[in-house]
Each structure stands twice: as structure tokens, then as C-alpha cells.
């Protein structure tokens, strides 16, 4: 029997809060585990954070209402072998959100996410979705889809100094902070308006860590209680810091620069290095390798080419597969996928993208300048806008649809409208397994079959991950 207390953040829980001993069961979507009172295995379900399946913990209640009970594990009575020293103690019980799996060994985090994905597909998607996934070659033997590490998190891939960091840390190129009443930078305590001053930023890339945002001496004159801080470390050029809309350099000097340059290696697609210009306040994937990995996976899937075992190797089959294709892209952002798709479909093909953010479409217009076969539309994605898009293509509707919706998913009506267009292939990128399960159920029910699925661990030390699904007309 082992017993260990959680980090000091536990003391920030409400004084006098009820405590209970729990037996911890499987993980649940959202970073919790399903637990029950140790003395009553059939008792009330309590969703507990900072625990691991199979553990026995002393937990402090944080929420209790007619619908749901929540708690934080504050002492580990029987530890899981997958428990490690947290890479971010301040994200522990009573601490900030955004690092809820920091106490879990990285391989076990991927097992956790695999369980959550399988549970959502079964419970929310239903039998049709579950059977479709189980029939995939990539699910052979287990009936579920594994969570793949990003290249930099695969064992032994990081050279030199990077290898000495805790696995899965130093990956984020965007960090958001708030200034507390004491003038120090921090993050909000989980489910709270309280700002907890931070001591470290372990998930941020070194370029952001080196700015010293947590050092009051350097930034004191710029920090005001309640201020919002955004730090951006682009792949080209020095980092920028935005404080309530004001743009500063990494040395805390004002600058008129409001755009950043992002470079994405697309050698595996035969395109070399792609150049993007993005507004400093615009959306961009936060994992430093996510743009490259997603472009490789999504563009290949959209154009019907098999994944290359070597991402740096040119794809001889891709130009032929892409030529003349008509592609509808929804929730297209700043054109991460639009640019390589437009480059590959050729003069006889066409890409039509739609995005609700006018700023993002403005970025995409810069990035797609000179590519006349790309047409960019601004507007919210709805069933009506999808139906209208079909009339914009020459020679019929789209051959392929690519969609990367926000966390709530595309929704039933949009998915039905997409299926009504009858594209040969639909590539769905999803950042939430519950929304993915609902959208998949609608598309399968509309006559499509699931041809492939993969999941990427783009957000280590959190419960989030990204899933890519390829559907083909049945």
C-alpha cells in the first residue's frame, strides 16, 4: 500500500470541503475518471480529476448538484504504475486548467485517450459507428483506434537538449495568460475566475519560455490586473506578445508588426516548404509539428493517395490523383489545407473554401494569392450554404469535401447537406470525440462508409487529441 499527497495546489480547495475515499474506474471524456465510494462499489458515480484508473484516492468534493458530482484527488492511497511525478504541479488539484493529465506517463495518456475515443464512438455514435470502426484494418485485434504520438514525442526523435525535457513538454507555440490582482501573470484555476500566478510554463516551446513572461521585473510596466496576455512563437521570426491588443516584441518593446510568418514543410506532397502569413490574433495550430502532420495526412486523404512511410519523400502518385479534382473545404481558417490543395488540383481542378471568420479569410487571401483555382467565401457554414456551394463548381458538385469544424462539430444538418451533395470522399477532422461520434453517425446513416481513421496526440498532458476520418460513398 502506498500513500502520497498531491502537490501543494490542493490547499487551494475550499476550506472545509467534504472529503471521501474513492475507488477509481475508467477515464471519462473531459479529463476525469469515473469513481465510486470505496465502501460502496455500486454507489453514486463521482467524476474525479488527478486520479488514474485502478487507484484508491482520498478526494475533495468540488461540485455537487442533482446531475453531477465532481472531486479532486488530493491523496493517493494506492497508486497506479502509470503515475509519474507531475510535469506541471501547478495544474494539479486546486490548480490551473490545461494540464489535467500531467501526472500520467505519456504512453498511458495515449491509452487513456484511446479508451475515451472508443467509449464516445460506442456510447454516442451507436452500434453502427462502433461496428464501422471495428471493421477498419487499423482497429484489428482491439476494435479501437490507437492514439499516435507526434513525431517529436516518439522515443528518441528529439536531439540534444530537447531530449532532456520531460516527454510531451515544450510543444506549444501559442500560450494565453491573465494578469492577477497582484500584477503577476498566471492562469485561471480550473472552473474558477481566480488567477493563480504561475512559476513555470512547461508546455510552451523554448522560444516562449525564454521571453520571461512570468518575470515581473521585465514586464511590470505592461501588466495591469485583468489584462489578457497572448504569446506567439511562429516558425519564422521572433516571438510576439499581445497584451490587451497591444503588440510587443519578445524584449517588451512596442511594435507595429501584427502578422507572423509560418513555414510548413510539405516535401512529402512534393510541394516543398509552404509559406503562410497569419494575423497575430488569428488561429493557428498550437503544437509546433501539427501543421506539417495535418497537411500531410489530410491532403493525402482528400486526394485519394496512400500515406507515405517517409513524409520527406515526394509522392509520385499524388499529382495524378489530384489533377482536376473539385474540392469543397469547410471551416477553412487561414488556408492551411487550402493552399496545398489548390497547388495540387491543377488548372483543371478547383478548390472552394468557406470560413466564418473574416480575419481568417483575409489571411487565406494573402496565402492563396496567385492561385486562381481557389475561391474563398466568408460566411457561417450551414446546410443552406453547403447546398449553395454545390452550384459554384464547374462540371458538377465537389468530388471531395474536407471539413475541420470547431469543437462542437459540424452538426446533423450540415452533415446531411454534405451527404446530399454526393461527393466521392469526405475527410473529417475533429478535435472532440463526442462531436466526432455524432457527425460520424449522421454521415454513416446518410449512405457513407468509414474507410479510414487515425488519431493524433497533438495536446500532450491534456485530455484533448485530434482525429481524422475518411469516408467514402457507399
Residues 6+ apart with CB under 8 A from 265: 272, 273, 274, 292, 312
Cβ contact 334:278 at 8 Å: yes
Cα-Cα-Cα-Cα dihedral of 428, 429, 432, 437, to 10°?
20
Q: Where are the beta strands (DSSP E) in 81-149?
A: 147-149
358: helix, strand or coil: helix
Residue 92 and residue 72: Cα distance in Å, rounded? 9
Cβ contact 29:119 at 8 Å: yes
Catalytic option among 33, 120, 431, 469: 431
Q: What DSSP assignment string belongs to 205-256? A: -HHHHTT-TT-HHHHGGG--TT-EEEEE--SBS--EEEETTEEEETTS-B--
Residue 467 and residue 134: Cα distance in Å, rounded? 16
Burial of 362 (0-12, 13-18, 19+ CB in 10 A): middle
182 annotated as belonging to a binding site for a ligand: no
Residues 6+ apart with CB under 8 A from 451: 425, 470, 471, 472
| Interaxial angle between packed helices 338-345 and 358-367, expressed in degrees from 0 to 180 and rounded to the nearest 10 | 40
223 annotated as belonging to a binding site for a ligand: no
385: helix, strand or coil: helix
Catalytic residue status for 431: yes
Pairing of strands 350-355, 326-330: parallel
Phi, psi (degrees; rounded to nearest 5) at 122: -75, -50
C-alpha cell at 393: 463548381
285 annotated as belonging to a binding site for a ligand: yes
51: helix, strand or coil: coil
Cβ contact 113:29 at 8 Å: no
CA angle 285, 274, 304 (to 5 degrees): 80
404 annotated as belonging to a binding site for a ligand: yes
Cα-Cα-Cα-Cα dihedral of 388, 390, 396, 397, to 10°?
-160
Residue 429 and residue 426: Cα distance in Å, rounded? 10
Binding-site residues: 285, 331, 355, 404
The residues that are catalytic are 431
Known binding residues for S-adenosyl-L-methionine are 285, 331, 355, 404
Amino acid at each position: 500500500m502506498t500513500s502520497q499527497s498531491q502537490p501543494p495546489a490542493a490547499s487551494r480547495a475550499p476550506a472545509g470541503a467534504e472529503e471521501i475515499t474513492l475507488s477509481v474506474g475508467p477515464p471519462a471524456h473531459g479529463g476525469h475518471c469515473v469513481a465510486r465510494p470505496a465502501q460502496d462499489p455500486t454507489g453514486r458515480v463521482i467524476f474525479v480529476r488527478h486520479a488514474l484508473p485502478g487507484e484508491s484516492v482520498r478526494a475533495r468534493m468540488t461540485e455537487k448538484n442533482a446531475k453531477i458530482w465532481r472531486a479532486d484527488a488530493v491523496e493517493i492511497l494506492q497508486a497506479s504504475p502509470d503515475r509519474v511525478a507531475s510535469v506541471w504541479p501547478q495544474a494539479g488539484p486546486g490548480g490551473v486548467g490545461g494540464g489535467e493529465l500531467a501526472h500520467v506517463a505519456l504512453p498511458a495518456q495515449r491509452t487513456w485517450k484511446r479508451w475515451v475515443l472508443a467509449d464516445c464512438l460506442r456510447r454516442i455514435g451507436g452500434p453502427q459507428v462502433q461496428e464501422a470502426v471495428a471493421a477498419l484494418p487499423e482497429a484489428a485485434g482491439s476494435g479501437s483506434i490507437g492514439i499516435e504520438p507526434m513525431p517529436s514525442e516518439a522515443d528518441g526523435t528529439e536531439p540534444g537538449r530537447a531530449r532532456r525535457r520531460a516527454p510531451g513538454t515544450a510543444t506549444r507555440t501559442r500560450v494565453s495568460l491573465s494578469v492577477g490582482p497582484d500584477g503577476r501573470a498566471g492562469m485561471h484555476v480550473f472552473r474558477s475566475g481566480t488567477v493563480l500566478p504561475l512559476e513555470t510554463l512547461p508546455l510552451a516551446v523554448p522560444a516562449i519560455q525564454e521571453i520571461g513572461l512570468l518575470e515581473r521585473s521585465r514586464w511590470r510596466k505592461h501588466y495591469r490586473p485583468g489584462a489578457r496576455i497572448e504569446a506567439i512563437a511562429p516558425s519564422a521570426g521572433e516571438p510576439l506578445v499581445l497584451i490587451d491588443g497591444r503588440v510587443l516584441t519578445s524584449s517588451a518593446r512596442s511594435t507595429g508588426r501584427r502578422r507572423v510568418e509560418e513555414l510548413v514543410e510539405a516535401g512529402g506532397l512534393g510541394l516543398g516548404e509552404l509559406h503562410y502569413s497569419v494575423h497575430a490574433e488569428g488561429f493557428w495550430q498550437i503544437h509546433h509539428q501539427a501543421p506539417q502532420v495535418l497537411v500531410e495526412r489530410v491532403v493525402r486523404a482528400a486526394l485519394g493517395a496512400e500515406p507515405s512511410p517517409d513524409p520527406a519523400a515526394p509522392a509520385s502518385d499524388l499529382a495524378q490523383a489530384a489533377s482536376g479534382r473539385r474540392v469543397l473545404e469547410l471551416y477553412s481558417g487561414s488556408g492551411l489545407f487550402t493552399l496545398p490543395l489548390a497547388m495540387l488540383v491543377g488548372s483543371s481542378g478547383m478548390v472552394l473554401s468557406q470560413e466564418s471568420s473574416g480575419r481568417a479569410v483575409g489571411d487565406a487571401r494573402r496565402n492563396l494569392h496567385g492561385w486562381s483555382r481557389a475561391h474563398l467565401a466568408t460566411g457561417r457554414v450551414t446546410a443552406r450554404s453547403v447546398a449553395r456551394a454545390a452550384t459554384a463548381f464547374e462540371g458538377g458538385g465537389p468530388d471531395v469535401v474536407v471539413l475541420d469544424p470547431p469543437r462542437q462539430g459540424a452538426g446533423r444538418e450540415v452533415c446531411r447537406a454534405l451527404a446530399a451533395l454526393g461527393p466521392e470522399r469526405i475527410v473529417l477532422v475533429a478535435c472532440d470525440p463526442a462531436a466526432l461520434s455524432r457527425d460520424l453517425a449522421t454521415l454513416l446513416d446518410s449512405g457513407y462508409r468509414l474507410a479510414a481513421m487515425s488519431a493524433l496526440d497533438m495536446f500532450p498532458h491534456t485530455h484533448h487529441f485530434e482525429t481524422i476520418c475518411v469516408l467514402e460513398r457507399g
